[in-house]
C-alpha cells in the first residue's frame, strides 16, 4: 500500500509538448511511471516517442481521460494557464471518473488564481490537488515505481516512512536521511510552498495514519502561515505513528519573502520557533538540522518498538 498513487496509477501529462513537460515525462517513464498520454490544446493527435514509449497527445483532459482511463495528471504548463489546467483536470476527473489526483508542478501562479482554483477543486470532493509549486508525489516500488513530478527518482527506495514537505530539495534531504539509516519510503509528497495550495499537511498525515505500509512519518515545514501548528495540533489527537519534524527558516528575518511565495514572517506570525514549539508540544520528534533527521527518526522508531 501507499497513499493516493501506486504502481498501477495511470498518469497524463498536461503541457507535455513544452520543454519541461517533455523532459519530465521522459524522466517519469524512465522511473517506471505509467504515463498513458499527454495534453496540449491544439496539438491533439500527435505522438511523442519518450524513452522508447509512444505517448499520444490529446487536445483536452476530457478526451484524454476517456481515451486512457487515467486516474492522475501532472501539470507543467506556464503560470498564466496553470490555474485553468488545474480546473480542467479537476472537472474532467470529477465528471468522468468521480475522482482523480492532480499534481501541479508549476511555480509562480497568481495567488488569486489559486484561491479560485482551490475553491473549484474543493467543490469536486473526489479530486485531490497536490501543489502547485511543488516537486510532486512519488510512491517507490520494488523496482521503479510511480513518480509524478520532478524529484530525482533514483534516491528513493520502497519502505515504511511517509514523507511530507513544503519544500522540494528539503524533501530530497529527508529521503536521503531515511536512506542513511536504511529505511525506504511509502509515499513522499511535496505539498508546495505557495500561500494557497491544495493538499495540506493534515491531509497527508491522515493518509499516512490510515496507510498500512507507512509506519513512521517525516514532516518538513517552513516559516509562514500556521499550517505546521494546525497539523501538529491535529496530529496530537489523530496520529498514533511516530512523526519526525523539521522547520526551515529559523534564521529568516521578518517581513522578507524567502524564495517561496508563502515563506514570509508577517506581523510576528509564522516563525520557525513557534512551529518547533508546536511540534514539541504535540509529541513530534524534532530535528534541529536536516542532517539529523535520520538519527532522530531512528530514535523515534526505536521508542515505538519499530527498530
Helices 61-68 & 79-96, crossing angle to 10 degrees? Answer: 50
Bridge partners (DSSP) of residue 244 are 218, 285
Task: CB nearer to other proteins: give 74 or 241.
Answer: 74
Q: Is position 30 an interface residue for other proteins (rule: CB under 8 A)?
A: no
* C-beta closer to other proteins: residue 107 or 215: 107
Q: Is 166 in the site for other proteins (CB under 8 A)?
A: yes
231 binds other proteins (CB under 8 A): no
Check binding of 31 to other proteins (CB under 8 A). no
For other proteins, what does the binding mask look like between residues 57 and 86, x meaning CB under 8 A?
Answer: --xxxx----------------xxx--xx-
126 sits near other proteins (criterion: CB under 8 A): no
Cell triple for 178: 531515511
Compute CA distances 206 → 114, 201, 212, 239, whole Å: 23, 9, 12, 7
Residue 252: count other Cβ atoms within 10 Å of its Cβ.
Answer: 20
DSSP for 267-291, written as a single string: TTBS-HHHHHHHHHHTT-EE-SSGG
Q: Hunting for cell 512519518 — which residue is that? A: 217
Min dist. Cβ of residue 305 to other proteins (A): 28
Q: Is 248 in the site for other proteins (CB under 8 A)?
A: yes
Instruction: Please give the residues from 252 up to 281 whose contact with other proteins meets the rule CB under 8 A.
Output: 252-253, 255-263, 267-268, 272
Query: Is residue 158 helix, strand or coil?
Result: strand
- What three-state secondary structure class fits 38? strand
Q: What are the angstrom distances between the C-alpha of 140 and each of 155, 169, 207, 236, 275?
A: 10, 17, 16, 28, 30
* Near other proteins by CB under 8 A: residue from 146, 151, 164, 232: 151
CA atoms of 217 and 207, how far apart (whole Å): 11
> Does 100 contact other proteins by CB under 8 A?
no
119 lines the binding site for other proteins (CB under 8 A):
yes
Q: Which stretch binds other proteins (CB under 8 A): 110-118, 208-216, 233-241, 299-307?
A: 110-118
CB of 69 to other proteins, least distance (A): 19
Q: Which is nearer to other proteins, 211 or 263 (CB)?
A: 263
118 binds other proteins (CB under 8 A): yes
Q: Is 226 in the site for other proteins (CB under 8 A)?
A: yes
- State yes or no: residue 108 binds other proteins (CB under 8 A): yes
Applying CB under 8 A, the site for other proteins has a residue count of 79
For other proteins, the closer of residues 1 and 115 by Cβ is 115
Which of left, alpha, beta for 267 (phi over 0: left; psi -120 to 50: alpha)?
left
Residues paired with 188 in a beta bridge: 138, 163
3-state SS of 51-96 is: CCEEEEEECCHHHHHHHHCCCEEEECCCHHHHHHHHHHHHHHHHHH
Tell me if residue 154 is catalytic.
no
Residues 200-219 that bind other proteins (CB under 8 A): none
Among 87, 129, 188, 239, binds other proteins (CB under 8 A): 87
Q: Which residues are catalytic?
A: 260
Amino acid at each position: 500500500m501507499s497513499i493516493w498513487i501506486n504502481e498501477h496509477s495511470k498518469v497524463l501529462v498536461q503541457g507535455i509538448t513544452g520543454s519541461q513537460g517533455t523532459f519530465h515525462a521522459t524522466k517519469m517513464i524512465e522511473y517506471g511511471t505509467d504515463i498513458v498520454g499527454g495534453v496540449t490544446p491544439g496539438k491533439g493527435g500527435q505522438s511523442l516517442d519518450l524513452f522508447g514509449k509512444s505517448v499520444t497527445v490529446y487536445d483536452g483532459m476530457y478526451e484524454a481521460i476517456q481515451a486512457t482511463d487515467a486516474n492522475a495528471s501532472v501539470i507543467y504548463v506556464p503560470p498564466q494557464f496553470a490555474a485553468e489546467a488545474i480546473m480542467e483536470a479537476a472537472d474532467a476527473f470529477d465528471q468522468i471518473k468521480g475522482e482523480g489526483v492532480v499534481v501541479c508542478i508549476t511555480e509562480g501562479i497568481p495567488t488569486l488564481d489559486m484561491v479560485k482554483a482551490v475553491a473549484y477543486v474543493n467543490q469536486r470532493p473526489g479530486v485531490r490537488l497536490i501543489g502547485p509549486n511543488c516537486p510532486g508525489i512519488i510512491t517507490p516500488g520494488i523496482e521503479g515505481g510511480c513518480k509524478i513530478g520532478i524529484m530525482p527518482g533514483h534516491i528513493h527506495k520502497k519502505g515504511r516512512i511517509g514523507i511530507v514537505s513544503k519544500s522540494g530539495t528539503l524533501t530530497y534531504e529527508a529521503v536521503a536521511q531515511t536512506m542513511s539509516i536504511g529505511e525506504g519510503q511509502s509515499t513522499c509528497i511535496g505539498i508546495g510552498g505557495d500561500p494557497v495550495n491544495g493538499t495540506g499537511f493534515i491531509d497527508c498525515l491522515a493518509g499516512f495514519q490510515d496507510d498500512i505500509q507507512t509506519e513512521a512519518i517525516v514532516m518538513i515545514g517552513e516559516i509562514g502561515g500556521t499550517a505546521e501548528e494546525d497539523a501538529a495540533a491535529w496530529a496530537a489527537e489523530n496520529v498514533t505513528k511516530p512523526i519526525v519534524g523539521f522547520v526551515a527558516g529559523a534564521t529568516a528575518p521578518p517581513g522578507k519573502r524567502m524564495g517561496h511565495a508563502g515563506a514570509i514572517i508577517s506581523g510576528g506570525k509564522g516563525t520557525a520557533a513557534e512551529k518547533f514549539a508546536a511540534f514539541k508540544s504535540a509529541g513530534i520528534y524534532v530535528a534541529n538540522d536536516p542532517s539529523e533527521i535520520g538519527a532522530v527518526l531512528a530514535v523515534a522508531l526505536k521508542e515505538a518498538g519499530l527498530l
